[in-house]
């Protein structure tokens, strides 16, 4: 049994479509896969169907950007094995997308003290992301 439980499709930050990703996984001999796209479950149903056709086991997955009280930057929470109709998980994904996920948020620059410029994120405290406790509650609700 060989698997990869943190794949990304073109629905998120990956380059391959779900079909291309599942074919590549099968060609590499993977038996278990999870497409854990960032803040979207759009690939889940496609991945489940494609994996079944290729005789692989697919596990529903998503990576959700969240705010953790006291943390200066957003955190990522990985969710696995949620139900097909994961309404609560999709709600927190939508909230994270509307806040602007960490990989796509515009950055400005600031001097780093050595005369060089470094990128800095510009967002309010918490970044507008759903709270970590709300994300975890949604995962448990749909699990």
Summarize pLDDT for 63-111 with one digit per residue, the tens. 999 999 888 889 999 999 988 778 999 999 999 999 875 444 433 444 4
Query: 135 to each of 26, 89, 101, 127, 130, how far by Cα in Å?
Result: 31, 7, 14, 15, 7
pLDDT value at position 110?
43
Share of the chain above pLDDT 90, in %: 69
**Tokens standing for residue 80:** 């696995």
Round to whole Å and give the CA distance between 134 and 136. Answer: 5
pTM: 0.80
Q: Reduced to 3 states, what is the DSSP secondary structure of residue 50?
A: helix
Residue 66, φ and ψ in degrees, nearest 5? -140, 165
């Amino acid at each position: 049994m060989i698997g990869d439980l943190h794949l990304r499709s073109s629905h998120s930050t990956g380059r391959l479509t779900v079909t291309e990703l599942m074919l590549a996984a099968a060609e590499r001999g993977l038996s278990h896969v999870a497409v854990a796209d960032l803040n979207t479950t759009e690939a889940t149903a496609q991945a489940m169907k494609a994996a079944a056709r290729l005789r692989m086991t697919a596990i529903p997955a998503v990576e959700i950007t969240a705010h953790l009280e006291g943390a200066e930057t957003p955190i990522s929470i990985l969710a696995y094995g949620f139900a097909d109709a994961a309404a609560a998980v999709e709600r927190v994904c939508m909230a994270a997308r509307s806040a602007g996920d960490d990989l796509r948020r515009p950055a400005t620059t600031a001097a780093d003290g050595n005369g060089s410029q470094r990128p800095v994120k510009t967002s309010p405290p918490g970044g507008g992301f759903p709270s970590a406790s709300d994300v975890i509650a949604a995962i448990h609700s749909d699990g």
